Structure 1
Amino acid sequence: MAKAVRASLGEMSITCQVCKNDVFRERGVKLNSTGGELFNLAWADERATGLICLRCGFVHLFVNPEIELHRVKD
């Protein structure tokens, strides 16, 4: 299983929009476009950081490259 992380954007801590939890599992997400798929260029599509809430499972997507992930100590 992926390591638990907390996330921030600058001075702002990120919490789940649904349950307000602040611990997530991180996963890279490819934002495929129809044109990219049609012309076999999906490899060039934009990527996002997916944060999956460890309490409720809601998935948050961030395209901002300045998001910081902080590993939660076991």
Structure 2
Amino acid sequence: MAAKPVRAAIGEMRITCQVCGSDVFRERDVLLNSVGLEFMKMAWADETATGLICWRCGFVHLFVNRDLKLYRADK
């Protein structure tokens, strides 16, 4: 299944790419591994982040802010 384009915001602040300024992304969950939990074979307990991958240039932005809202983008 192909990723669908999204736009994102935290409150009233719209998210744009830090590199190219685009406001269209694809979303992906990212596991934030820690050495300690990896060592104890408990990586499944690590925190996750929302990864927003810029649709235009591919730069990856990571967010752990649970107030991040995603909106469908009609490219």
**Structure 2-normalised TM-score?**
0.95
Partner residue, 1:42 = 43
Gaps of 5+ in 2: none
**Structure 1-normalised TM-score?**
0.96
Gaps of 5+ in 1: none
Alpha-carbon RMSD: 0.9
Partner residue, 1:6 = 7
Counterparts of 1:36 and 1:7 in 2: how far apart (Å)?
A: 31
Is residue 19 of structure 1 aligned with residue 25 of structure 2? no
Runs (4+) of structure 1 moved beyond 3 Å? Answer: none
| Percent identical residues | 66
Q: Report the count of equivalent residues.
A: 74
Tell me the alpha carbon deviations over residues 7-44 of structure 1, each in whole angstroms, 9 at most, x when there is no partner. 00000000000000000000000000001110011111
